[in-house]
Amino acid sequence: MHTMIVLIPLLPLAGFVVTLLLGKRVLSARPEVVSLAAVTASWVLSMIVVAHVFGAHDKAIDFNLFTWVSAGSFHVQWGYLVDSLAAVMLIVVSTIGMLVHYYSIGYMRSDGGYYRFFAYLNLFMFAMFTLILANNYLLVFLGWEGVGLCSYLLISFWFHKKSASQAGKKAFLVNRIGDWGFTLGLFLIFTTFGSLQFGQVFAKVSLVSPGLVTWISLLLFVGAVGKSAQFPLHVWLPDAMEGPTPVSALIHAATMVNAGVYMIARSYPLVSHSHTAMLVVMIVGTFTAIYAACIALTQNDIKKVIAYSTISSLGFMFMALGAGAWVAAIFYLFAHGFFKGLLFLGSGSVIHSMSGEQDMRRMGGLRKKLPLTFWTMLIGALANVGMFPFAGFWAKDEILGGDFSAHYYIVWAVGIVTAFVTALFMFRLMFLTFWGENRASAEVQRHIHESPRVMTVPLVILAIPAAVLGLVVGLPPDGGWLHTFLQPVFFNVEKEHFAWAGTGGGLMALSLVVVALGISTAYVAYLRRPGLPARAAARVPWAYEASYHKFYMDEFYNAAVIRPVMGFAMWLWAFVDVRVIDGAVNGLAWLWGAFGRVLRPLQTGRAQSYAFGVFAGLFVLIILIRYFWGA
Amino acid sequence: MILIALIAWPFVAGVAAWIAGRRRPHVARWVSVLAMGAGLLALAVVWIVKAPDFALSGHGPFVASVHVAWVPQLGISFFVAADGLSLVMVTLCYALGLLAVLSSWREVTTRVGFFHFMLLWTIAALVGVFTALDLFLFYFLFEMMLVPMFFLIALWGHERRVYAAVKFFLFTQIGGLLMLVAILALYVIHGRQTGVYTFDYLQLLGTHLSMATATWLMLGFFAAFAVKLPAVPLHTWLPDAHTQAPTAGSLVLAGLLIKIGAYGMIRFMVPLFPQAAFRAAPVFMGLAVLGILYGAVLAFAQRDLKRLVAYTSVSHMGFVLLAIFAWNTLALQGAVLEIVCHAFSTGALFAIVGLMQERLHTRDMDKMGGLWLTAPRMGAVALVFALASLGLPSLGNFVAEFLILIGSWRVSEPATVLAAFGLVAATIYSLWLIQRVFQGRETPAVTMPDLTLREGVMLAAMAAPLLWLGVYPQPLFNAVRPGLAALQQRAVRGAPPPSSAVLLPPPTTRAAPTGSDAGAVSMSGDAQ
C-alpha cells in the first residue's frame, strides 16, 4: 500500500520529466502517450488506495519516506497521510485530472506546444497529489507552491500573448501574497508546537492558548484566501481564463482552487478551536459568494462567467467551513469538482466548435448543433444552481441548512440570495449559448460542429457524478455515506440535525423555489423578452457598471498598490541610491583622486608592487604600534 | 597539507595559464578548466574521506589544519584550518571557479592568459580567506584578492568598467582598513593582557574586552564585512561592479566575494565580540530587513537586466545578515545553505545575462521580449533560476530562506514578518524578468541563438545542486553542524550578558539560553 501511495505522485513526475526531455524529438509522433499512461496509472492506484481506505475504516495510513530537512530542532519528513479526507480529494483530483488529460488530446492537438502542455499537466498532477497526500504542513506547502507554479505555466501557456503572460504573472503573484500569510502561519505553528507534522500538531492543540490558535488559523486562512480566490485576493482567477480551457477546468475549477478549502478542512483540529477564526472564514466566504455572483451576472465571456461562478462556489465552501458544516463543505467541494469541471470542459467544447469565440453575445442556438455538449452542460448547470436531484442540490442545501442550524440567519439569507443570482446567471449563460438564433458570423457558423469523441466522452463521464453524486453519497441529508466516511476526520462536529419532514424539508423546498425563480427570470429576460436586461441596466446604470467592471477591484489595485510601489521603486533608485549614497561616495572619490595625484609616481600599474606595498605597509604599521602602544 | 595545496594550486595553475596563454589563448582556458576540475576532484576525495568525521561529535570541528610560524617576532603565523563550513566554502570556490572559466570561454578574447591568471589568483586568495585562522593572514589574503578582482573588472568589463572598478576598490578598501585597525587593536589589547602578542584567532577569542571597546572593534569588522555582503546603505558598489564586470567576474563576485562578508561575520565578528554583536543585533537585524526589501524594490526599477540581478543579491544577502544576527542553529544552517544556493542561482542568472549580452550586445530589457520563441532552452533554464530566486519549494533557496525566517522568528517576530515580504517582492522581480525578456511578444524582439551544448551543460550543472539541496539538504547540514556548533558555543546568545536583555525583543520569543535551540516555546517533544 505504501508503495502505491508513493507512486501516485511519482508517476506523473516521471511523466513530466520524460515528456519534457523527449517530447519534442523522440516522442514527436505521440508526445502525449507517456503522460497519459502516467495519469491513468495514478488513477488506478488512487482507486485502489481509496477502496483500501474505505475498507479499513477509521484507520489512516501515515508514513514517512525520508528526512527532508533536519536542522537544529527543526525536523520535517517527506511523508504521506491517506485518510478519508485525502481519499475524497484523491477521487476528485485523479478522476478529473485523467479526464482532462484525455480531453486535451482533442482540444490541444493542433497547438505547437502540444508536448509542453502535457508535460506541465503532469507536473501539476504531481504537485496536486503531493499537496493532498502530504502528512505535514511543509510538504503541503511544497505541493501548494508547485500547483501555483503549474498554474502560472499553464495560464501563460501562450506566453507570446501579452495578456496571457500578464495573467500568469498576476496569478502567481497574488498567490504569493497569500502565501506570505501561510508561511508566517507555518512559523507560528512550528514555534508553538515544535513540529509541522499534522499528527503532532493536532494532538497538542488543546494545550495551547486560544489566542495563538486564532492567529495560526487566520494566517493559514490568508494563504487559503489567495489560493482559493477569495475576496480581496480573487482578482487573479478571472484573468487566469487566458489559459487553455482544459487548464481552467482542471486547475481553476476542480482541483487547485480547492486547495485552500482542503487546507482549512485539514487543519480542522486547529481552526475549529478558534471561534474568531471560524467567524472570519465564514464572513469572507459569504461575502465572496454573493460578490462574485453579482459580477458573473453581467460578464459576456462564457469562461469569465464560469470563473466568477467558481469564486462564488468557493465562497460557499468557506461559508460552510466557518459555520461548522465541515462535511457539507467537503461534500460541496466533491460535487463542485465534477460539475464545474464539466461546465468548463463543456464551454471549451463550445469555444472549440465556434472557432475560438468566447463572447456569448455572438453565440446562440447551439442546442441542435452540439447535442452532447448541450445535454451534459445542462446537467452541469442544473447541478451548479442546485436543482433537485442533481449533485449540487444536496451539497448546497446541507450548507444552507448548516448556516441555519448554527443560527447564522443572515448568512443563510445571503446564501439564498446567492442561489437566486447563481440560477439567474447560469441560465443566462445557457440561454444565450444554446437557445435562440446563432449570432456568429457566417464564416464561423459554417464551421460549427460537435467536438470529437475524445472530448465529448469526458463530458459524458463527468455528467454522471454531476447528476447522481448527491443521491449516492449524500442521502439522507446530514447522514449520508460521505458523513460516515469523513466522521474520523471531523470527529468532533456537534450540530443540530433537522427533522427530514420539518425545518429541513422546508428549507429545501424554499431553496428549490428560489432556484426555479432564478431560472424563470433568466428565461423571461434572455429568451422571451430580450430587451429586458438592457432596460434594467439603463434603470440602474451605476449598478450595472459596477458589476460589469468587477467593482473596480483591478483599477483599485492598480492605483493604490502597483503604481505607488513602482513609483517608489523608481524614486528610491534615482534619488536614494544614485543621488544620496553615490553622491556621497563620488564626493569622497574626488578627494581621494586629489590625494592620489600627489602620490602618482607610486602607481606603477603592476600587481606585484601593489602586493608588496600592502605587505610592507602592514609590517611597518604593526611595528610602529608595538613600539609606541604595545610594550 | 591539503589545505596549502588547495590554496597554492590555483595560483600555480594561473601562472601556467598566463605563460601558456601568451601564444595559444585556448591552452590557457584548458589549463584553467583542468586545474579547477582537478581541484574539485581532490575536494571530492576530501569530502568522502572526511565525511565520517563530521558525524563524530567530540572530534573537534576542524578536519584539517596547518600551523606554521611565519613571522614569529610579531606573532604572525601561517595558520589555516578547515571545518565543515570552510570546506563548503572552499568547494564552492573551486566549483564557481570552474564555472567562471567555462562562462568566459567565448566572452574573453583579449589577453586571455592574463585573464585566467587574474581569475585563478582570485580563487586562490578566496580559498585562503575561507581557511585562514590567523587574523594577519586573513587580512592579507582579504586585500590580496582585491587586486586581481580590480583588474578583472577594469580590463575586461563593460562600458563603465573603470568607474565600477574604482568604486569597488574604494568601498572595500575603506571597510578593510577599518577592520585592520580593529585587528591591530585586538592584537595589542590581547598582548597587553597576556603578554602574548599573536594574531592567532583561536587565542584571541578569549580576550576580555569592555563593552565599549568590544563594540568599537566589532564595528570595525562589521564595516569590512557589511561592505562585502553588502548591507544597505553600503551596497552601491555592487550593482556597478556586477553590471560592469565580465561574466566570470560577476560569478565570482556574486558567488564568492560577497560571501566573505557572511563568512567573516560568522567566523570572526560574532565569536570575537559576542556580547557587543548581540547587543547591536536589533539594529543590524533592522538593517537586514531593510536590505531585503530595499534590494528587491530597487530591482523593480531596473531596465538593465544585469543590474536587476545585482540588486536581487542585495535582497538575498539581507536574509543572510538576518540569520547571522538571529544566531541560532536554524538560522545559521539556513544562512550557509543560502550562501551556497545563492551562489548557484544568482551565478547562473549572471551567466545567462552574459550569454545574452554576447548574442544581443545589450542588457536593456526594453529591447528584449518574446525570446522564448527563439531560444526556448534558455528561457526554460532562466525560469528555473528565477524560480529558485523567488524561493520555490523543492529548490534549495526555499529551504534556506525558510530556515532563516523560522530562526529569526524566534528572535524577532516583527523583523520576520517584514522579511517574509521579501519573498513576495522576489516573486515580482523574478516573474517580471521572465516576462520582460522571454514572454509577451508575438514575434521575438530580436532573434537569438539558443543554448549550445557547453552552455546547457554548464547551466544544468548549476541547477543540479539547487534541486539536490532543495530535496535533500541533509549532507550539507551534517557537514557544517560541528563547525557551527563550535562557533555557537563561543558566542552564546542571551548568555550572562550585561544588560543585553533590554535591547532584545521580549524574552518569551528568544532562543533558549543554550543557544542550541532547546525547542519550542511551550513544548519540545518533536520526534526525529
| Residue labelled with grid coordinates 445557457 | A430
Find, among A429, A333, A299, the residue nearest to A90 by Cα.
Answer: A333
| B190: closest chain A residue by CA | A630
Residues of A in contact with B432 (CB under 8 A): 169
Q: Do B477 and A156 touch (CB under 8 A)?
A: no
- pLDDT (average), residues A534-562: 85
Q: What is the pLDDT of residues A92-114, one digit of tens each?
A: 999 999 999 999 988 888 887 88
Average pLDDT, chain A: 87
Residue A58 has pLDDT above 70, yes or no: no
Distance from B431 to chain A by nearest Cα, in Å? 6
Q: Do A73 and B298 touch (CB under 8 A)?
A: no
Nearest by CB to residue A73, choosing from B398, B423, B519, is: B519
Residues of A in contact with B387 (CB under 8 A): 149
Residues of A in contact with B392 (CB under 8 A): 145-146, 149
Nearest by CB to residue A569, choosing from B298, B403, B443, is: B298
Q: Cα(first)–Cα(last) distance of chain A, in Å?
A: 77
In order, the DSSP letters of B223-281 are HHHHHHTTPTTS-THHHHHHHHS-HHHHHHIIIIIHHHHHHHIIIIIHHHSHHHHHHHH
Whether the CB-CB separation of B191 and B230 falls below 8 Å is answered with no
Interface mutation vs chain B, best among A63, A74, A565, most B CBs within 10 Å: A74
pLDDT at residue B441 in the model:
83
Find, among A84, A85, A8, A89, the residue nearest to A41 by Cα.
Answer: A8
Burial tier of A439 (Cβ tally within 10 Å: 0-12, 13-18, 19+): middle
Nearest by CB to residue B406, choosing from A187, A568, A610, is: A187
How far apart, in whole angstroms, are the C-alpha atoms of residue A171 and residue A264? 21
| Residue labelled with grid coordinates 547540514 | B477
Q: Where are the alpha helices (DSSP H) in B361-395?
A: 376-389
pLDDT at residue B517 in the model:
40
Cis peptide before A476 (omega within 30 of 0): yes
Distance from A63 to chain B by nearest Cα, in Å? 13
Residues of B in contact with A615 (CB under 8 A): 140
pLDDT band at residue A578, thresholds of 50, 70 and 90?
A: confident
Helix (H) or strand (E) holding A82: strand A74-82
Q: What is the dihedral of CA A596, A602, A605, A608, to 10 degrees?
A: -130
Q: Do B405 and A70 touch (CB under 8 A)?
A: no
Return the axis-axis angle of helices A326-353 and A302-323, rounded to nearest 10°. 180
Neighbours of B361 (CB within 10 A): 9
- Output helix, strand, coil percentages for chain A, rounded to the nearest 5: 75, 5, 20
How far apart, in whole angstroms, are the C-alpha atoms of residue B214 and residue B186? 9
Q: Do B406 and A193 touch (CB under 8 A)?
A: no
Query: What is chain A's alpha carbon radius of gyration, rounded to the nearest angstrom?
Result: 29
pLDDT at residue A506 in the model:
84
Distance from A5 to chain B by nearest Cα, in Å? 19
Q: Do A194 and B233 touch (CB under 8 A)?
A: no
Residues in a beta bridge with A66? A78
Backbone angles phi, psi at B69, to 5 degrees: -65, 140
Q: Do A73 and B525 touch (CB under 8 A)?
A: no
Domain boundaries, given as residue ranges, for chain B: 1-242+249-279, 281-528
Cis peptide before A389 (omega within 30 of 0): yes
Q: Do B148 and A592 touch (CB under 8 A)?
A: no
How far apart, in whole angstroms, are the C-alpha atoms of residue B454 and residue B103? 9
Backbone angles phi, psi at A480, to 5 degrees: -75, -175
Residues of B in contact with A173 (CB under 8 A): 424, 427-428, 431
Nine cell digits for residue A597: 595625484
Residue A292 has pLDDT above 70, yes or no: yes
Nearest by CB to residue B526, choosing from A156, A194, A574, is: A194
- A553 HSE (CA, 13 A, CB side): 18
How far apart, in whole angstroms, are the C-alpha atoms of residue A68 and residue A196? 12
Query: What is chain B's alpha carbon radius of gyration, rounded to the nearest angstrom?
Result: 22
Distance from A473 to chain B by nearest Cα, in Å? 36
| A157: closest chain B residue by CA | B439
Q: What is the pLDDT of residues A444-487, one digit of tens each?
A: 888 888 888 888 999 999 999 998 888 888 777 777 888 888 88
Residues of A in contact with B523 (CB under 8 A): 193-194, 204, 207
Residues of A in contact with B417 (CB under 8 A): 184
Q: What is the pLDDT of residues A405-453, one digit of tens each?
A: 888 899 999 999 999 999 999 999 999 999 888 888 888 888 888 888 8
Local mean pLDDT, 10-residue blocks, chain B (528 residues): 86 89 86 91 86 57 81 88 89 93 85 89 93 92 88 87 85 88 91 88 87 91 91 87 90 92 93 90 92 91 90 94 92 94 94 90 87 90 94 93 93 92 92 90 83 90 94 90 85 55 38 38 35
Residues of B in contact with A195 (CB under 8 A): 520, 526-527
pTM of structure = 0.90
Nine cell digits for residue B391: 524561493
* Interface size, chain A vs chain B, as Cβ–Cβ contacts under 8 Å: 213
Bridge pairing between strands A74-82 and B76-82 = unpaired
Whether the CB-CB separation of A172 and A237 falls below 8 Å is answered with no
Q: Do A162 and B373 touch (CB under 8 A)?
A: no
Q: Do A176 and B524 touch (CB under 8 A)?
A: no
Q: What is the pLDDT of residues A136-193, one digit of tens each?
A: 999 999 999 999 999 999 999 988 888 899 899 999 999 999 999 999 999 999 999 9
Distance from B375 to chain A by nearest Cα, in Å? 13
Residues of B in contact with A169 (CB under 8 A): 431-432, 435
Whether the CB-CB separation of A397 and A328 falls below 8 Å is answered with no
Distance from B393 to chain A by nearest Cα, in Å? 5
Q: Do B438 and A72 touch (CB under 8 A)?
A: no
Q: Do B522 and A208 touch (CB under 8 A)?
A: yes
pLDDT band at residue A575, thresholds of 50, 70 and 90?
A: confident
In order, the DSSP letters of A175-197 are HHHHHHHHHHHHHHHHHHHS--B
How far apart, in whole angstroms, are the C-alpha atoms of residue A558 and residue A556? 5
pLDDT at residue A421 in the model:
94
Nearest by CB to residue B526, choosing from A200, A208, A631, is: A200
Residues of B in contact with A166 (CB under 8 A): 435, 440
Q: Do A161 and B442 touch (CB under 8 A)?
A: yes
Residue A616 has pLDDT above 80, yes or no: no
Bridge pairing between strands B76-82 and B64-71 = antiparallel
Distance from A109 to chain B by nearest Cα, in Å? 19
Whether the CB-CB separation of A242 and A358 falls below 8 Å is answered with no
Neighbours of B325 (CB within 10 A): 25
Nearest by CB to residue B301, choosing from A572, A588, A629, is: A572
How far apart, in whole angstroms, are the C-alpha atoms of residue A178 and residue A224? 7
Residues of B in contact with A226 (CB under 8 A): none
Residues in a beta bridge with B304? B364
Interface mutation vs chain B, best among A17, A115, A176, most B CBs within 10 Å: A176
| A621: closest chain B residue by CA | B184
Nine cell digits for residue B412: 524577532
Backbone angles phi, psi at B364, to 5 degrees: -80, 115
Q: What is the pLDDT of residues A583-612, one digit of tens each?
A: 777 777 677 667 666 666 555 555 555 566
Q: Do B372 and A160 touch (CB under 8 A)?
A: yes
Residues of A in contact with B428 (CB under 8 A): 173
Total residues found in chain A within this entry: 631
Residues of A in contact with B329 (CB under 8 A): 71-73
Helix (H) or strand (E) holding A51: helix A33-55
Neighbours of A57 (CB within 10 A): 11
Q: Do B416 and A70 touch (CB under 8 A)?
A: no
Distance from A552 to chain B by nearest Cα, in Å? 22
Distance from A577 to chain B by nearest Cα, in Å? 7
pLDDT at residue B54 in the model:
63
How far apart, in whole angstroms, are the C-alpha atoms of residue B95 and residue B33? 10
How far apart, in whole angstroms, are the C-alpha atoms of residue A612 and residue B144? 10
Q: b/e map of B211-237 (b: 16 or more CB within 10 Å)?
A: eebbbbbbbbbbbbbbbbbbbbbbbbb
Q: b/e map of A307-326 (b: 16 or more CB within 10 Å)?
A: bbbbbbbbbbbbbbbbbbbb
Residues of B in contact with A206 (CB under 8 A): none
Nine cell digits for residue B457: 551543460
The fraction of chain A above a pLDDT of 90, given in percent, is 47
Interface mutation vs chain A, best among B77, B187, B300, most A CBs within 10 Å: B300
Q: What is the pLDDT of residues A216-257, one digit of tens each?
A: 999 999 999 999 999 899 999 999 998 899 999 999 888 999
